A and B are shown apart, each in its own frame.
Chain A
Amino acid sequence: MSDVIFELKNVKKWFPARRNLGQLLSGERKWIKAVDGVSLKIKRGEIFGLIGESGCGKTTTGKLIMKLMEPSDGQIIFNGEDVTHLDKERLGQYKRNVQMIFQDPYASMNPRFRAVDVLTEPLEIHGIGKSKAEREELAAKALEAVKLTPPEDFLGRYAHMLSGGQRQRLATARTLILSPDFIVADEPVSMIDLSTRAEILHMMKEVQQSMGLTYLYITHDLSTARYFTDRIAVMYLGKIVEMGYADDLIDKAKHPYTKALISAVCEPVSGKVNQSKEVPIKGEIPSAANIPEGCRFHPRCLYAKPECMQGEDPELQEVENGHYVACIRYKEIEEMGTSWR
């Protein structure tokens, strides 16, 4: 098996925009380009972070990988096999291997299900385990893996009898029970209290290491991403603008957008009350229905030049070992020094 578990090749997801009568009659079509040509490779056994602001297409990318929707264009390759379009039977097999942890542990579980029902339902659907007793044994094992111990205490509980952190553990157990290779975690800790957030991340990392899993961690939070992931890709308006090893990307950010994001993050250190934060970015994020020409970041970029404003988006190019940037001026900007800080 190759060391690349997932590959996206120029994947796009365009949604049709609502048209007014004039556009309808003239046959004009408009698209909301939620994901607009994403290419990336996720290596087996790594935690890959996908970062961006709301509306940048990170969740849509997660859904495309989960095959909850079909891409408009491009190719998705999983374990060397093209899974862009699958028939029903193969989709079932695929979903055993690729599982998801959702953001809201309060909404992602049936309130009438006990933990044991939550955990055995996927087994029944996929026809795993010969008897109820065997399935329940697997359920107990999954609870042990996520440290909800002793499992007998938790199997009979309903979701409302669990705290937020415990629910997210149960949600993780639910994904593990089918022994998948790949887990998509969409903001798994954003609704969990700070004091227990790290506990959940530790648990997820332990499970990942002991079972050799690969994660796609989707988040807007750069700080947890640096802590939790091996590599990070930054998305802006449906495209990846920068990608690299977590430490490199944050300590040596090259794309002006990544730099702006980093400078906007608050840090719990003293002495900042009386100064305002400098965030080197202009304006607000444009709508995905109306993507600017040229580099899609140029209207907000402080360094944009005429050549940034026309033609195609800049290609994502490797500039250092494993560090990719989609900006034609990244070198010049680097030479200008840290004036953006």
Chain B
Amino acid sequence: MERVLDVRNLKVYYFTSKGPVRAVDDISFYINKGETLGVVGESGCGKTTLGTALLNMPTPPGKVVGGEIIIDGTNILELNENQLRKNVRWEKISMVFQGAMNSLTPAYTIEKQMLETLRYHRELDEQEARERIKKYVNLVGLSDDVLKRYPHELSGGMKQRIVIAMALFLEPELVICDEPTTALDVVVQAQIINLLKELKQKLNLSFIFVTHDLATEAEVADRIMVMYAGKIAEIGTNDQIYGEQGPMHPYTSNLLAATPRLHKKVEKLNFIPGSPPDLLNPPAGCRFHLRCPVVMEKCRTEEPPLKEVEKDHYVACWRCYENE
């Protein structure tokens, strides 16, 4: 299958006065054309850092300190700012930031702010540009009359649709969505999820769907990548993670058992004692070992590599290789 993105040994550190915070620490993964990769993890696990790093624009004081991000055969970490703007960002890979719907300019109509972005990137005359905007606004399920309106006249769900349209209208192959449904009500959440699924099919797009919510991920992601403390704990297909057999990494399975279920009466929900480690000073060995219920001696000293234990199923856990 064609890969739209290949990430190898990516490291992103935040250089703070107390020392480097290893927010994304040596991770490798890929995305196939037309698939949605769900990136899931708790706050501080590096999922948003990963998203911005993929555009090669980490938030200061963050820096990409190593690795490769390969899009269309080019390592985008080697490109300069100008080339990135012109050829990569929003052209090949775009992002819907967390809370982006609140960053629309309040003084501009929707059409004006969309035009501004579009005409910066494309030499279109006004008529063509308007046509293209109209097409994308319709594509995300809104009618033309929203174009004349100001952001405050739109609901949260409508603004989120506009932001998604803006991520799409330069026709990228890959769209990163960072918590696109978190601030929305459940009914609107379901509508946005449906929209993303529809767009994926219609345009043969690839998505990275970043969220903290395992339940949402089950609805949207073909494959799921679970992050813990800057590392990948597990990557598996939707069936491998949510199916009968269940996930392999103890972090994933415990997190899943901590997720409340609506249609299943649970007597006692699980929880993981303790809290994630400080990434200024991550623990030796497996980063999860301090909270792991099935920790072994080896886990405290040696870091488990991410290994393919069955087809398309990668796990970083000493226990899981032992079971082979």
Could you list which residues of chain A lie within 8 angstroms of chain B, going by C-beta atoms?
53-54, 163, 165, 193-199, 201-202, 220-224, 226-227, 247, 250-251, 260-274, 276-277, 279, 281, 284-285
Contacts and interface: CB of A to CB of B under 8 A. Distances in A.
Contacts, number: 132
B160 interface: no
Contacts of B265: 226, 247
B218 A268 contact: yes
A268 B215 contact: yes
A19 to B, nearest CB: 18
Given A270-B239, A272-B218, A198 B43 contact: no
A4 to B, nearest CB: 27
A284 B42 CA distance: 31
Contacts of B254: 195
Interface stretch (B1-9, B26-34, B268-276): B268-276
Contacts of A251: 263
Contacts of B266: 227
Nearest to B43: A193
A195 B44 CA distance: 13
Of B155, B221, B262, the most chain A CB neighbours within 10 A belong to B262
Contact of A264 (B186, B197, B260, B276): B186
Of B189, B193, B271, B273, the most chain A CB neighbours within 10 A belong to B271
B261 A193 contact: no
A284 B185 CA distance: 11
A270 B262 contact: no
B220 interface: yes
B43 A269 contact: no
Interface residues of B, number: 51
B189 A284 contact: no
A172 to B, nearest CB: 16
Interface in B206-228: 212-222
Of A262, A263, A273, the most chain B CB neighbours within 10 A belong to A273
Contacts of B193: 266, 277
Given A195-B258, A224-B260, A268 B242 contact: yes
B258 A198 contact: yes
Given A195-B258, A250-B262, A273 B187 contact: no
Contacts of A202: 268-269, 271
B215 A284 contact: no
Contact of B219 (A195, A273, A284): A273
Contact of B260 (A193, A223, A276): A223
B262 A265 contact: yes
A237 to B, nearest CB: 13
A227 B187 CA distance: 20
Nearest to A228: B260
Nearest to B212: A194
A195 B42 contact: yes
A268 B256 contact: yes
B59 interface: no
A163 B198 CA distance: 39
A279 B191 contact: yes
A276 B192 CA distance: 10
A268 B247 CA distance: 12
- Across the A-B interface, the 10 shortest Cβ-Cβ residue pairs: A270-B242, A198-B269, A223-B260, A198-B271, A53-B185, A264-B190, A199-B271, A195-B272, A266-B215, A264-B186
A227 B263 CA distance: 10
B238 interface: yes
Of B36, B194, B198, the most chain A CB neighbours within 10 A belong to B194
B219 A266 contact: yes
Interface in B173-200: 185-191, 193-194, 197-198
B185 to A, nearest CB: 4
A250 B263 CA distance: 8
A261 B241 contact: no
Nearest to B40: A194
Given A220-B185, A223-B260, 13 more contacts: A54-B185, A163-B275, A196-B271, A202-B268, A247-B265, A263-B190, A267-B261, A267-B263, A268-B217, A268-B256, A269-B242, A273-B219, A277-B219
B186 A196 contact: no
A271 B214 CA distance: 14
A193 B212 contact: yes
